[in-house]
Chain A
Amino acid sequence: MLKPLSSRHWNYDTAAHLLNRAGFGGPPAEIAALAALTPEAAVAQLVDYEDIPDNTPPPGWAKPNAEEMRRYQQAYKAAAPEEQLRLRREMFRTQYQQIVELRGWWLNRMRHGPRPLQEKVVLFWHGHFATSFDKVRNPYFMWRQNEVFRRLATGNWLLLLTAVGKDPAMLLWLDQAKSVRQHPNENFAREVMELFALGEGHYTEHDITEAARALTGWSLDYQTQDFMFRPYVHDAGDNTIFGQTGNFNGDDFMELIIAHPQSARFITGKLWEFFAGDPPSPKLNDALADVFRGAGNNFKPLLHTLFRSEEFYDAAVVRNQVKSPVQWLVGTARLLECELPPPVVSASLTRSLGQDLFAPPNVKGWDGGMSWITTNTLLARYNDAATLLTGSIDSMSAQDFAVGNGGQGGEMVKHFAERATRFRVGGVNAAKIVPPADRTDKDKLVAALEHRLLQTRLKPDKEKALRDFLAPKQQLTDADIVTALRLIMSTPEYQTA
């Protein structure tokens, strides 16, 4: 189990697989550079990213906004009903603009950031701790949580779990901030065991009740917008969790979870599934959990082992994962060396394909895998490919913008989208992908396009369909290249990596 892949098997294809999964894929030159290294050096380049400077500045508004919120609340209280409505709309509009900007900010960081694995792991944690702006309503808190994921992305499990538990967005999302001794709210206590750290069947309802008592007092200070422990709402009595009795508080509870025999299996199984596509076999899961435990519950050594393992390069793993909408969008821009569309368009694209960043459907996160693909989302991917390639939203339906934003939200998105079309960004530079000189031999051309987009060949019949399409054209224009790219993106094969 988990034997390192031999250097003999390290080549362009394995390097491409690593970059697809540990990052968001890349153009041929990037893959070739990775393939030129040894497997351990290639993995280290992605996993040991601390030495690579990442100076991405935060969005301008991403700073504490307690004073602003307080002023708003005062004005709101003092206002007449009609004025209140106006104030609410204005607040809604600002928050909406900011969350769209945040989506664009993060997507661009995935697109251009110098640490692809870090962003990929942040995406994993976002789906894992699935916190939604729909309830939190504060873009600053959403950004802050994203930064917690980034700072502790590949660090220690206890530190991360505790930091997330004390994170303002999470305190609001699962109601921990409202939990008091008299009425302990069990929401966070339950989800931390069920969804974040252990899985069903490894705790009892009694553990939940007791953990909820231990967690009382974990709260949010609205003045500082930071975690605050409120001793007077904390239940200071003894509690029994996982069969152990003591005077436990929230931090103790976190330690009990991490010490639980199931915790390493649970989180390493989730990570394997995220990176490899399917849940690990029980044996493989045990092996991953052993590595993780042996490394003091730190993620970085686990990721080294995982990305170097023979199992990760198994034929059942390679090119057998459905791209998430984010992977599809960011990956396409990276493969084609083009820019993402403006934030409002990018955000609408991933949302209409089923992945609204900062708004997962529920606390379980996105189901992922095959569930990304429905008849509707598949056709939408095929049509949205045109949007990415041309940089024009003409082929996007107006409804793409309104989805998931019932009522005023939908109107607003449409408005922003219309504004955004005035600054057209993105679109592929066909001459960069295939210089005119390389367009005469159509067999070679088709092979080159497949190589770039799929890193493999289509089945012969499909390849023929592509060549037949190009055959009647004498001199291939940029538009023809774009059309060919669109056709390759409109295949089942392109939806996997």
Chain B
Amino acid sequence: MKNEIHLHTRREFLRTTMLGGALSWTVPVFLADTFSALNADARDSATQTVTGRDGTILVVLQMAGGNDGLNTVVPYANDDYHRARPRLGLSAADVLKLDGNIGLHRSLKGFKSLYDAGQLSVVQGVGYPNPNRSHFRSTEIWATASDAEQVEKYGWIGRYFDSNCAGADPTVGVTIGRQLPQAFWSNSGKGICFDNPANYRFQSGAHPRPGQPDRMEESYKKLNDVEMAGTDDNSGGSIGMLAGAKPMHGGRAVDFIERTALDAQVSSDEVRAIANRVPSTANYPSSQLGGALKLVARLIAGGLPTRIYYASQGGYDTHTNQLATQERLLTDLGDSMKAFTDDLKAQGNLSRVLIMTFSEFGRRVAENANGGTDHGAAAPMFIVGERVKAGLLGTQPSLASADLFQGDIKFTTDFRSVYAGVLEHWLKTKSAPILGREFTPLPVV
């Protein structure tokens, strides 16, 4: 047909740009023309781009709400600590000792065994200058890697997609959750999100007889087919669409939605195929986090080309009754992480995966009157993997009252140095273009 190009070329196009090769799509000529122009670049970078099928993978784990770092990585022998926390302070008996001064919260047994196996590094005192105590603002700062005084739109991971993943499949970034976290926001619109593979699909509600096609689902696919977009009056936006651009302003909205629909359809098929194919026999805690990490492990095993996964665990905003709440959350965190690394090890994939945790801030050094702690500043980060520089990294900040700022811990490591270390040493890319300027990369691996 006049309107179509050769199958071989179409396949090439689909594979090297966004879709992954298995589908028998046809592409209108105008798309193919645009594609040819873009393709030279896209194909080169695509063949050179490392994917999560065989390259390194980063899993970012957000501890939302502001985890109390001091009761997570505990300076149990420190008098200032116990003075500030007469009720909440954890003593030597309550911790899993890492050395004579520092111990992990006793519920982090999973982390302790990783630590003993040389697979955990604890980066101490991570934060940024002029810390902000608002959940959303501080989350935004961590997500965009901006200075506290500066508002950025795109996330640091999104900028990584923009600069390093041209021509990659949309599943280069996967968030287990409903919304795309700001860290994923990008100019190129890469990255998908879903919380449950079973629901991550068009639910036709039809019940065709076995062997019969689901006609409704077929129709839905046709109605969301990029080919069906037709060839008239939308060439402007489609160039952006092919390049993967997500025009926040300008362009036809429907072109952008069409592309997202295609991403959704293709990734939905891919994700569910993997979910059906890859059983998960590993035991995880039956929590939301455990479920999310279990899913990530299956997607990795199934060979999804994802380089960055994002999962989160909420509930750390412990203004009241902190002891019980944090114990429950950290138990879940440690056990889920242990299950995840065991699972990856059994798969033979652990050496390719690095896990990094963060929270938008730590909490005030002094406990409050309600058995809890209020919003604070610097806190530790955990980095997990077979190849990590294991042990305590960075400097434990002083808790002497003269060394605090408005009752908060002063940071000793900028979080962007940790990002820089992960980008340079794990994802093997220059960090300055992504983080906006040079930060000394922390040697995390």
A448 adjacent to chain B (CB < 8 Å): no
Can you name 6 A-B residue pairings with CB atoms under 8 Å? A277-B253, A369-B249, A370-B247, A459-B228, A469-B219, A496-B254
Q: Which of B190-198, B341-349, B396-404 contacts A (4 or more CB under 8 A)?
A: B190-198
Instruction: Collect the chain B residues with CB atoms within 8 Å of residue A319's CB.
Output: 254
Asked if B156 is at the interface (CB within 8 A of a chain A CB), the reply is no
B201 CB within 8 Å of chain A: yes
Report the Cα distance A394→B233, complex, angstroms. Answer: 39
**Contact digits for B34-45, partner A, Cβ 8 Å, 1 yes 0 no:** 000000000000
Select one of B205, B248, B260 contacting A374, CB under 8 A. B260
- A-B pairs, top 6 by smallest CB distance, nearest first, are A465-B222, A492-B257, A362-B136, A375-B264, A459-B230, A375-B192
Name which residue of chain A comes closest to B151, CB basis.
A200
8 Å CB contact of B222 from A375, A376, A462, A492: A462
**Interface 0/1 of B198-226, CB less than 8 Å to A:** 01111101000000000110011011110
Q: Which of A378, A407, A487, A496 contacts B223 (CB 8 A)?
A: A487
Contact (A378, B219) CB under 8 Å given A278-B250, A397-B199, A459-B228: no
A65 at the interface (CB under 8 A from B): no
One of B228, B249, B252, B260 near A378 (C-beta < 8 A): B260
With a cutoff of 8 Å between Cβ atoms, the chain B residues found around residue A486 in the complex are 216
**Contact of A361 with B by CB under 8 A:** yes
Q: How far is the CB of A342 from chain B (nearest CB, A)?
A: 21
How far is A430 from B227 in the complex, measured between Cα atoms in Å? Answer: 31
Complex contacts, B256 vs chain A, CB 8 Å: 370, 373
Interface string of A455-478 (1 = CB under 8 A from B): 000111110011011000000000
Contacts of A373 in B (CB 8 A): 256-257, 260
Tell me whether A159 is interfacial, beta carbon within 8 Å. no
What is the CA–CA distance of A492 and B238 in the complex, to the nearest angstrom?
Answer: 14
Instruction: State in angstroms the CA–CA spacing of A362 and B136 once bound together.
Output: 6
Judge if B147 is at the interface, Cβ distance under 8 Å: no
Task: Bits for A367-395, please: 1 = Cβ < 8 Å to B, else 0.
Answer: 00111011111110011001000000001
Which of these, B203, B219, B232, B258, contacts A492 with CB under 8 Å? B258
Across the interface, which residues of A come within 8 angstroms of B229, CB to CB?
459
User: How many whole Å from B318's CB to the nearest CB in chain A?
Assistant: 12
- The reply to whether the CB of B375 lies closer than 8 angstroms to some CB of chain A is no
Q: How many residues of B contact A (CB 8 A)?
A: 52
| Among candidates B178, B223, B246, residue contacting A370 with C-beta atoms closer than 8 Å | B246
Q: Is A20 engaged at the interface, CB distance under 8 Å to the other chain? A: no
- Bound-state Cα–Cα, A49 to B223, Å: 39
Give the contacting residue for B268; candidates A352, A361, A379, A459; CB below 8 A. Answer: A379
B253 near A465: Cβ-Cβ < 8 Å: no
* Residue of B whose beta carbon sits closest to that of A369: B248
A376 with B193, Cβ < 8 A, contacts A462-B228, A487-B216 known: yes
B224 to chain A, nearest CB (A): 7
In the complex, A486→B137 CA distance in Å? Answer: 39
Whether the Cβ atoms of B193 and A374 lie closer than 8 Å is yes
The answer to whether A379 and B264 touch across the interface, beta carbons within 8 angstroms, is yes
The answer to whether A375 and B202 have CB atoms under 8 Å apart is no
Per the bound structure, the CA–CA distance linking A43 and B136 in Å amounts to: 39
Tally chain A residues at the interface, Cβ within 8 Å.
52
Shortest Cβ distance from A148 into chain B, in angstroms? 23
Residues of B within 8 A of A386 (CB): 203, 205
Tell whether B261 is near chain A: CB-to-CB under 8 Å: yes
The minimal Cβ–Cβ distance linking A412 to chain B, given in whole angstroms, is 15
CB distance from B41 to the nearest CB of A (A): 24
Identify the closest chain B residue to A410 (Cβ). B288
| B314: interface (CB < 8 Å) | yes
Contacts of B215 in A (CB 8 A): 469
Task: Please name all residues of chain B whose beta carbon is closer than 8 Å to the beta carbon of A495 when the two chains form the complex.
Answer: 253-254, 257
Distance (Å) between the CB of A264 and the closest chain B CB? Answer: 21
Q: Which of A363, A403, A468, A469 contacts B178 (CB 8 A)?
A: A403
A406: contacting residue among B219, B261, B315, CB under 8 A: B315
Nearest chain B residue, comparing its CB with the CB of A403: B178
Contact of B216 among A200, A363, A399, A483 (CB under 8 A): A483
CB–CB A395/B253 < 8 A: no
Inter-chain CA distance A379–B249, complex, in Å, is 23
Closest chain-B Cβ to A205's Cβ sits at a distance in Å of 9
Contact B254 A493 (CB under 8 A): yes
Q: Could you tell me if B230 and A376 are in contact, using CB atoms closer than 8 angstroms?
A: no
Contact (Cβ within 8 A) B253 A370? yes
Select A352's contact among B178, B216, B254, beta carbons within 8 Å. B178
> Are B205 and A496 neighbours in the complex by a CB distance under 8 Å?
no
Residue of A371, A468, A492 with most chain B CB atoms under a 10 A cut-off: A492
Report if A375-B193 is in contact (Cβ < 8 Å); known contacts: A397-B199, A461-B228, A466-B219.
Answer: yes
Q: Is the CB of B192 within 8 A of A490?
A: no
Min Cβ gap B249→A in Å is 5
Which one, A200, A406, A490, contacts B224 given CB within 8 A?
A: A490
Tell me the smallest distance from the CB of A376 to a CB of chain B, in Å: 5
Set of chain A residues within 8 Å of B267, measured between Cβ atoms: 375
Q: A376-B192, A496-B253 are in contact. Are A382 and B260 (CB under 8 A)?
A: no
**Is A320 in contact with chain B by the CB < 8 A criterion?**
yes
User: Within the assembled complex, what's the spacing in Å between the Cα atoms of A322 and B178?
Assistant: 19
Contact A375 B170 (CB under 8 A): yes
Tell me, in angstroms, the Cα distance from A407 to B137 when the chains sit together.
23
Given contacts A490-B220, A491-B223, A495-B253, 14 further A-B contacts (CB under 8 A): A278-B249, A279-B249, A320-B253, A362-B140, A374-B179, A374-B180, A378-B257, A379-B201, A383-B199, A406-B315, A407-B314, A461-B227, A462-B228, A469-B216
| Chain B nearest Cβ from A30, distance in angstroms | 24
**Are A487 and B254 in contact (CB-based, < 8 A)?**
no
* Alpha-carbon separation in the docked complex, A319 to B193 (Å): 27
Q: How far is the CA of A496 from the CA of B251 in the complex (A)?
A: 13
Q: Which chain B residue has the least Cβ–Cβ distance from A363?
A: B136
Query: Is B386 close to A, CB under 8 A?
Result: no
Residues of B within 8 A of A395 (CB): 203, 205
Q: Does A321 interact with chain B (Cβ within 8 Å)?
A: yes
Contact with B along A253-278 (1 / 0, CB 8 A): 00000000000000000000000011
- A residues less than 8 Å from B136 (CB atoms): 361-363
Question: A379 contacts B202, CB within 8 Å?
Answer: yes
A171 and B58 CA atoms in complex are apart in Å by 42
CB closest residue in chain A, given B192: A375
Give Cα A200–Cα B230 distance, bound, in whole angstroms.
42
Chain B residues near A278 (CB-CB < 8 A): 249-250
At the interface, yes or no: A354 with Cβ under 8 Å from chain B?
yes
A407, B315: Cα distance in complex, Å: 8
**B194 contacts A376, CB within 8 Å?**
yes
- Give bound CA distance, A465 to B218, whole Å: 9
Q: Report B183 CB to chain A, min CB distance, Å.
A: 14
Assembled-state Cα–Cα distance A490/B227 (Å): 16
- B263 contacts the other chain (CB 8 A): yes
Q: Which of A277, A374, A399, A483 contacts B192 (CB 8 A)?
A: A374
Contacts of B249 in A (CB 8 A): 278-279, 369
